[in-house]
Amino acid sequence: MLDFISFPLGKILLFIYETLAFKNYGFAIIIFTIFVRLLILPLYIKQYNSTAKMQEIQPKIQDLQKRYKNDKEKLNEELIKLYREHNVNPAGGCLPTLLQMPILFSLFYVIQSPLKYMYQIGTAARALIPDKASVKIMQEAIDKLFNMVPEASRMGYYKDLSIIHYFSQNKHLLDTTEGLLGEHHLINMDFLGLNLGLKPTLNFGAIFSDLQYLGLALIPILAAFTTWLSIKLTSVQTAKAQGDKAGQGGGMTGGMLMVMPIMIAFFSFSVPAGMGVYWITGNILQIFQQMFITRFIMKKPNQSREGVK
């Protein structure tokens, strides 16, 4: 469903992997995350400005809501006038989040299916967005290779990752793949001694019998912690810079501090570890991004914004 995003992302990740990341998948994901964050930084600045303006006209909004509480049509008209007068877009604060969601899900497809989205295996052409016939050829090639992987070496339903993992350990069998798979397709998933193609687990038997699974289990924990830290620091710095006006949203922030880390931990335990690395990197960048916005974009509490009387 998101192939029109996943294939271009796959080409970008492949370029980064082969040219900038020393052919290390972990470094490629980190560089890719930095690229995405820099790309949408202007939208985050716009989001802050939109949210700040909405906070400043909140008393006027509440006044209109009281004045026209029994006339919703008139209320909507006056709110539209107010937004136009102060050049405010009520939905402006949602744009970065809306943009990140399809990127997040598309990147998940790329990480779980790199042979398809990065290498477009089985096809001669490397189209930006392949047609349905080419996608079918890719899937048939992947299915054929997956059937060559013994049951014991299969990593759940991650066909591409199973293929890469198995043939990386049995390179002498590459000649049996009828030219479908070459050594250059065997992505280096090792990052700090961890296979980012594997899925973290809470199975204590696996964790205590293999140090790699102990390391992998730390990735969702770090993803949850950095999520909490990012939300906490963002709310504190925003409240401080705006003279505690942001404190009006303290209840919502408190809810996010509780729910979001749990959701991210659950998500990170359900997908290949590479997704957790993406999330951790994104959270760390979010912290520095907020520091940048706080220092260079936010206005001090005693500075009134132009156009708001």
Give the pLDDT score at 280: 97
Give the pLDDT score at 200: 94
Instruction: Specify the range with the lowest mean pLDDT, choosing from 25-39, 105-119, 243-257, 283-297.
Output: 243-257
**Both tokens assigned to 263:** 């959701």
Long-range contacts of 293-297, Cβ-Cβ distance < 8 Å, separation of 24 or more:
293/44, 293/45, 293/48, 294/237, 294/238, 294/240, 294/241, 297/45, 297/48, 297/49
Segment 126-165, tens digit of pLDDT:
899 999 999 999 999 999 999 999 999 998 889 999 999 9
Nearest residue to 217 via CA among 236, 203, 235: 203
For the chain, give me the number of helices (H) and strands (E)?
Answer: 12, 2
Q: What percent of the chain has pLDDT over 90?
A: 56
CA 156-105-164 angle, to 5 degrees, is: 40
Segment 193-223, tens digit of pLDDT:
999 999 999 888 888 888 899 999 999 999 9
Q: What percent of the chain has pLDDT over 70?
A: 89
Nearest residue to 44 via CA among 89, 86, 91, 93: 93
Tell me the DSSP string of 234-271: HHHHHHHHTTTGGGGGHHHHHHHHHHHHHHHHHHHTSS
pTM: 0.84
Q: Inform me whether the pLDDT recorded for 242 exceeds 70.
A: no
- The rounded distance, in Å, linking the Cα atoms of 233 and 110 is 31
Average pLDDT over residues 45-69: 84
Give the pLDDT score at 50: 77
Instruction: Specify the range with the lowest mean pLDDT, choosing from 34-48, 235-249, 291-305.
Output: 235-249
Give the pLDDT score at 155: 87
At 240, is the pLDDT very low, low, confident or very high (cuts 50, 70, 90)?
Answer: low
Average pLDDT of the chain is 86
Segment 245-276, tens digit of pLDDT:
444 455 556 677 889 999 999 999 999 999 99
The two beta strands, 194-195 and 190-191, are: antiparallel
Give the pLDDT score at 220: 97
More confident of the two residues 52 and 276: 276
- DSSP H or E segment with residue 34: helix 25-56
Residues whose CB falls within 8 Å of the CB of residue 96, separated by 6 or more in sequence, listed in order: 40, 43, 44, 47
Span between the terminal Cα atoms of the chain, in Å: 47
Residues whose CB falls within 8 Å of the CB of residue 45, separated by 6 or more in sequence, listed in order: 293, 297
Nearest residue to 194 via CA among 213, 178, 176: 213
Segment 17-43, tens digit of pLDDT:
999 999 999 999 999 999 988 888 888
* Residue 4 CB neighbours (<10 A): 11
Q: Inform me whether the pLDDT recorded for 304 exceeds 50.
A: no
Segment 74-88, tens digit of pLDDT:
888 988 898 888 888
Long-range contacts of 144-149, Cβ-Cβ distance < 8 Å, separation of 24 or more:
144/180, 145/115, 145/121, 145/177, 145/180, 145/181, 148/173, 148/176, 148/177
Give the pLDDT score at 299: 58
Query: Structural domain boundaries of the chain?
Result: 189-299
